[in-house]
Amino acid sequence: MQVVVWNENRHEKTNPVVADIYPEGIHGAIANFLKEDEIEVTTATLDEAEHGLTEEVLKQTDVLVWWGHQAHDEVEDRIVERVHQRVLEGMGLVVLHSAHFSKIFKKLMGTTCDLKWREADDKERLWVVDPSHPITEGLGEYIELEKEEMYGEHFDIPAPDQLIFLSWFEGGEVFRSGATYQRGKGKIFYFRPGHETYPTYYNKEIQTVIKNGVKWVSPASTPTPTYGNVKALEQITEK
């Protein structure tokens, strides 16, 4: 499996708190734990040529993991179109935390993907609401994070194909924190935790979810459908 972890890599350059938590960048931290499963992992960032997502790179990518926050508008539309096409062709996409507002996720969802938020060191409890789903393998009934940014409903996304996690925050809010979709031949997993000023991506249970998510969205060897005007497979004649 070929995985690319994409990140803006802006907070790490401008915020010493983030740089201290993630000295190799958020993308580096995620790539490091994915490599533990002997997955072929590379990284790409916003300021690289073509944001590191050239046609050649994407053609070889089975799963793209996306983290973004403050520079969504700087992602070129032509690159978004390129990623969108690859998802329709079967490339898996894992969308993390504030990448709910990325151009690619909003394009795939067809909605604003807006929500409520509060950065106030809230305790978060992520409840597993679909324990039969492969993404929850190896987990208990919930994951508890002592400090995270609050995201609250209403989350303006289409009804998920499958709702995997529902978060509760100590301020009283709830949030659909793990949701899956299919677009074309591609599978998408949105997973909420991961604010840049918290060491969330070092949490072993969070790592388990992302590892499981990468495996779940990975492409299957299924036939590619034919569209458009076609000839009949059989000629039916009356006797």
Rounded to two decimals, the pTM is: 0.95
Query: What 3-state DSSP class applies to 129?
Result: coil
- Strand 116-128 versus strand 142-152 pairing type: antiparallel
Query: Which pLDDT does position 57 carry in this prediction?
Result: 98
Number of H helices, E strands in the chain: 7, 9
CB of 94 within 8 A of CB of 191?
yes
Q: How far is it, in rounded angstroms, from Cα 166 to Cα 155? A: 12
Query: Which pLDDT does position 239 carry in this prediction?
Result: 64
The dihedral sign for the CA sequence 96, 42, 222, 209: negative
Phi, psi of 2 (to 5 degrees): -105, 115
Give me the domains of the chain, ranges plus CATH numbers: 2-111+177-217 (3.40.50.880)
Tens place of pLDDT per residue across the chain (239 aa): 999 999 999 999 999 999 999 999 999 999 999 999 888 999 999 999 999 999 999 999 999 999 999 999 999 999 999 999 999 999 999 999 999 999 999 999 999 999 999 988 999 999 999 999 999 999 999 999 999 999 999 999 999 999 999 999 999 999 999 999 999 999 999 999 999 999 999 999 999 999 999 999 999 888 888 889 888 877 766 66
